[in-house]
Amino acid sequence: MSETRRHGIGRRHFLYSAAAVAAGAMGTGCTPDDAQGTSGSDGVPVVAIDAQRRSFKVSPYMTGVNGAKWYDDAYGMWDSKHNRPAPGIVAKIKKSGIGMSRYPGGTSSNLFNWKGAIGPQADRTHQVEGKQGATVDSRFGPDEYMAFIRQIGATPEIMAPFANSTPQEIADWVAYMNAPQGTKWGDLRAQNGHPEPYGVRHWEIGNELFGKHQRYWMSADDDKAMRQYAFGGTQRQKHQHVGTPTDHRPSAAVSNGEPHQTFTVRYPPVVPKTQTIRVDDTTWREVANLTSAGTDDRVYTFDPSNGTIHFGDGHHGEVPRKGAKITADYDSGPHAGFVDYYTKMKAADPTIDVLAVWAPIEAGKLAGGKSFPELLAEHGHADKYDGMAIHPYTNFQRDLKATSFPDKQAGHDYQMLGDAAAAKMVSDLTALVQKHGKDDGYVAVSECGALFFGGERDSDAYPQYSFAMSHALYMASQWARFADLGVRWTASNDLIGEKPGLSRTLFGGAPSFVRTPDAIVREQLSGLFHGGGHVVASEVRSNAEVSTRETPLGSSYEALVTTAAVDKDGVLSVLVVNRSPDEGVKSRVDLGSFRHAGSVDVSVVAGRSYDDFNNDEHPDAVTIKKSRATAKGDSLNWTFAAHSVTLLRFPPPTSH
């Protein structure tokens, strides 16, 4: 069990230490030396603000979201019958202040075919879902996505697939989204009902291709796969089930016993004459055509450009018996690499940003070894990417070596322990990009959150952890740290859960789309992240520490996390997250030289306990509570409630 420790007061006491202060100052522009010896004389934590020390512009895309999957009408978000967002969802999204939405999604979108998802619905192709290989629909295509984006008032961000596409195909997508009429792709977009360019500026190539289960055609060796991602190449595939262009499941590799069967290898093109095609355990032979083949000849024709295998009809070439499994060995390639994608896409529209995604993570930190920025710099391509997208998830099993929650409290604590480690991953990658990349290279976060990967069954002691107040505290902490690190945009969690029910999403499933605490906190922070202006220096001096059981990420975490910004109207916003599960933290907010009007607008999101959440029966269990306070002089004494997100807004003096 965790406890918030306060010095000299019975069982619970505050722990003041250089390590705690250093952790509290991470990413704020203050070093541990800056913070030492500066606690308040009364011994309470001090939230110290220096509004004169401006750093990064406040990003309106900090609280973006990884969009719902495109298939199945985006989990009920899209009303395909009426070609519009589902009733009620637009107002909830706008209220939640979502500034960016990622499309078409993550792992499931790694094999997305954009050209099959435009034009009349009757003419669209099916798709291969990138995780299970199942056949899915194309109803929610790029044009529907942009119609949705415009209704919710957000900025688009596109994850372009790498594993099954070419640089020209993705450059064509850029042109379809951004080129004017009078061009091939601009005219096609206009023909599809959208004459004005969409102006999509943010693109990334691939999703977690460094993951062992998202390599597709690439090597299982990490270093070789990174080079293939960067520069392309060829890779041998062995004993791979064949399928169809829209179905990669093992069942798609089974003969139905009928004549003229056609299959495709999964990852064309294929180096000619490198393929071995087997029917069950028997190797069949390639021929130029089937017309001269005999009835019992075990032969096939093969097109290496698209990987198509064609079998005979029983008169010209034997028919694979019903139930036989067809597998293939072949050299997949040659494939292009990221540098080729970047070059083609920037030629289509030089104003876009194209981000690389090769940022692997090991136990609670950025993976060691040569990094992607180092690799590109080594080969003279430091200018061939605009930045990098990272997924700094807290993975309980990987990072904390936990296969379950010992109790509900652990489900809360593990998230808080993972927060600082996740932020350090972003900080470390930023340092690599700044050292090895172009001068204006940057880091974005296109997925994040705290999870048991592999299923909610691992979280029986606290099954609601991913949509309860605990996760909202985790996300608020992440946004605070990311703001201090200058992250350009963040797409976290998913937009909508599978229907029905709740999951690690902003909203529950259709049709009610109940707002989770994550969405409530986003609404609370809209003024902070959408107010323009700059992040200013902030830190927590003499922070309170919450003790936990011993873990690979430590045995305590800081109670308070903060960031601050001054908007375009001169309003100072101070965000303070108290992650302590059960204790308020009495503090002093030190405003330094910032002059204010005296009144303070206060908003608090807390719930009754850290495990509180909203559902269809209790949609307002967690809400925003607003009040007003008075501040005199250069400080404000305040007790930050347990498990709460507090936003203090100090307007400047009224000018006469």
pLDDT tens column, 23-53: 333 333 333 333 333 445 567 999 999 999 9
Q: How far apart are CA 137 and CA 256, in angstroms?
A: 24
DSSP per-residue string spanning 68-97: PPSHHHHHHTEETTTTEEPTTHHHHHHHTT
By CB atoms closer than 10 A (0-12, 13-18, 19+), residue 81 is exposed
Retrieve residue 656's tokens: 């006469």
Q: How many CA atoms lie within 13 A of 470 on its CB side?
A: 25
Per-residue pLDDT, 35:
33
Per-residue pLDDT, 550:
97
Cβ proximity of 381 and 375 under 8 Å: no
Per-residue pLDDT, 1:
62
Per DSSP, the three-state class of 491 is strand
Query: What is the 8-class DSSP label of residue 360?
Result: -
Retrieve residue 444's tokens: 């974005």
By CB atoms closer than 10 A (0-12, 13-18, 19+), residue 416 is buried
Per-residue pLDDT, 456:
55
Residue 303: which of 278, 322, 330 has the closest Cα? 330
Per-residue pLDDT, 37:
33
Per-residue pLDDT, 85:
93
Bond preceding residue 156 cis, omega within 30 of 0? no
How far lies 400's CA from each of 339, 450, 558, 638, 656, in Å?
A: 36, 11, 17, 33, 57
By CB atoms closer than 10 A (0-12, 13-18, 19+), residue 609 is middle
Residue type at 121 in one-letter notation: Q
Retrieve residue 284's tokens: 């069949």
Torsion of CA 191, 195, 201, 204, to 10 degrees: -10
Residue 101: which of 161, 61, 160 has the closest Cα? 61
pLDDT tens column, 337-350: 999 999 999 999 99
Helix (H) or strand (E) holding 195: none
Cβ proximity of 249 and 315 under 8 Å: no
Q: Around Cβ 433, how many Cβ atoms within 10 Å?
A: 22
Cβ proximity of 388 and 357 under 8 Å: yes
Residues of 342-357 as b/e, b for ≥16 C-beta within 10 angstroms? bebbbebbeebbbbbb
Residue 174: which of 344, 300, 345, 46 has the closest Cα? 345
Retrieve residue 478's tokens: 């992440």
- Given the structure tokens 């290989």, which residue do they identify? 133
3-state DSSP percent of the chain in helix, strand and coil, to 5: 25, 30, 45
How far lies 366's CA from each of 441, 585, 638, in Å?
A: 18, 32, 37
Residue 260: which of 305, 306, 304, 291 has the closest Cα? 291
Query: What is the 8-class DSSP label of residue 124?
Result: P
Q: Where are the beta strands (DSSP E) in 280-318?
A: 282-286, 299-303, 308-311
Per-residue pLDDT, 304:
98
- Could you tell me how many helices (H) and strands (E) the chain has, helices first? 15, 36
The sign of the CA dihedral 346, 348, 354, 360 is negative
Bond preceding residue 104 cis, omega within 30 of 0? yes
Q: How far apart are CA 463 and CA 408, in angstroms?
A: 9
- According to the 3-state scheme, what is the secondary structure of 234-262? EEEEEEEECEECCECCHHHHECCCCCCCE
Cβ proximity of 334 and 269 under 8 Å: yes
Per-residue pLDDT, 479:
98
Q: How far apart are CA 162 and CA 206, in angstroms?
A: 5
Largest separation between any pair of C-alpha atoms in the chain:
98
- Regions of the chain where pLDDT drops below 50: 6-39, 656
Q: How many residues does the chain have?
A: 656
